[in-house]
Structure 1
């Protein structure tokens, strides 16, 4: 019926308005990334980080990226993930702790590279 079409269109408009509002919030909170001001000894977005799992002795390497960003051929971790949040600002030798479903995970940073 005509009312059903109108209701469906109104629902779609509401969804789009919500999406626009969320994107506007992200844009308003975004910061300009200036590589010249980076401390190269500290983990930040764009860093390739090598870590060692302190408790399980496993090693891993990945690049810290923005939310939703993917890099072909590279393992990535989002800066908004619990691991990404734990790593930001850390230096080589420091330990990042992450509460995971299987318990507390501790990662020692063994290398930080940019570029």
Structure 2
């Protein structure tokens, strides 16, 4: 069996996107990581079932049909310690691996990557030699996530077409594997785009000033969301490339997000008031 035969397409750069989707370079969001770990835990705690009932699990190989270019590849789903994406051994904690988990022949796995939807149909599924058993001992950070992480549903985002164009230009100058680029692209992927003059007056856009509430501490800082070049020493601005900055873009007054902090804690943040929005002030092309 040929394990990995993905073709390269210079026109769409499919091979690069496929590799990114198959590796941990593009990290899973916390809610998806938690969901995958729960699935793996459920499998480990139940009696073995036939493959037709369980679908794709670590230790299985599958023939994938890429619906964008009709190329095929055999890949094997493995635990992170056995992952070798260039050889076709895909970690279950990669975007593609997480999308494949539990899928069966005839189903389609979808991966959102860089505002593109990659779609793969599972054509053939077979068991191979089972990798070493997956043992997972939650760290302090993961325990906190399990205790405080909300439902996976996230607030709907609205983006200005002008902001999106400028952010695209900004991201194109960053390395494809830059964590800040990946985080912001992940947010932009799920946003709905409107023209500046159609932007509702309560949505956080670039150069907006917002009053936030940190729900765990009660603090209510005021921050202006800016491009990196506009940061200064005043401390009242946040870059759109910072974790909180990328999370704020496109939210509305009253929206609440849960964001991982550097110490591993999950901080609930609410948008209390939009103090200034360029579109509301008539500065449509600022």
Q: Which residue number in structure 2 is paired with residue 69 of structure 1?
A: 82
Residue 57 (structure 1) shift: 0.6
Separation in 2 of the partners of 1:107 and 1:54? 6
Out of 66, 73, 93, the residue aligned to residue 60 of structure 1 is 73
Separation in 1 of the partners of 2:116 and 2:79? 26
Q: Which residue number in structure 2 is paired with residue 111 of structure 1?
A: 124
| Unmatched 5+ stretches in structure 2 | 1-39, 129-286
Residue 103 (structure 1) shift: 1.1
Partner SS, residue 96 of structure 1: strand
Separation in 2 of the partners of 1:31 and 1:54? 30
TM-score by length of 2: 0.27
Assess if the C-alpha contact under 8 Å between 2:103 and 2:109 holds in 1: yes
Out of 81, 103, 109, the residue aligned to residue 90 of structure 1 is 103
| Higher strand residue share | 1
Separation in 1 of the partners of 2:99 and 2:91? 11
Partner SS, residue 98 of structure 2: helix
Q: Which residue number in structure 2 is paired with residue 3 of structure 1?
A: none
Aligned length: 87
| Unmatched 5+ stretches in structure 1 | 1-28
Residue 101 (structure 1) shift: 2.6
Q: Which residue number in structure 2 is paired with residue 40 of structure 1?
A: 51
What CA deviation, in whole Å up to 9, does each residue of 1:8-63 have, x standing for no partner?
xxxxxxxxxxxxxxxxxxxxx978848x6133121011000111011211111111
Separation in 2 of the partners of 1:109 and 1:37? 22
Separation in 1 of the partners of 2:66 and 2:79? 23
Separation in 2 of the partners of 1:101 and 1:81? 15
Q: Which runs of 4+ in 1 moved over 3 A?
A: 29-34
Separation in 1 of the partners of 2:76 and 2:65? 15
Structure number with greater CO (CA < 8 Å, separation at least 6) is 1
Partner SS, residue 86 of structure 1: helix
Separation in 1 of the partners of 2:80 and 2:119? 22
Separation in 2 of the partners of 1:109 and 1:32? 20
Partner SS, residue 124 of structure 2: strand
Q: Which residue number in structure 1 is paired with residue 63 of structure 2?
A: 50
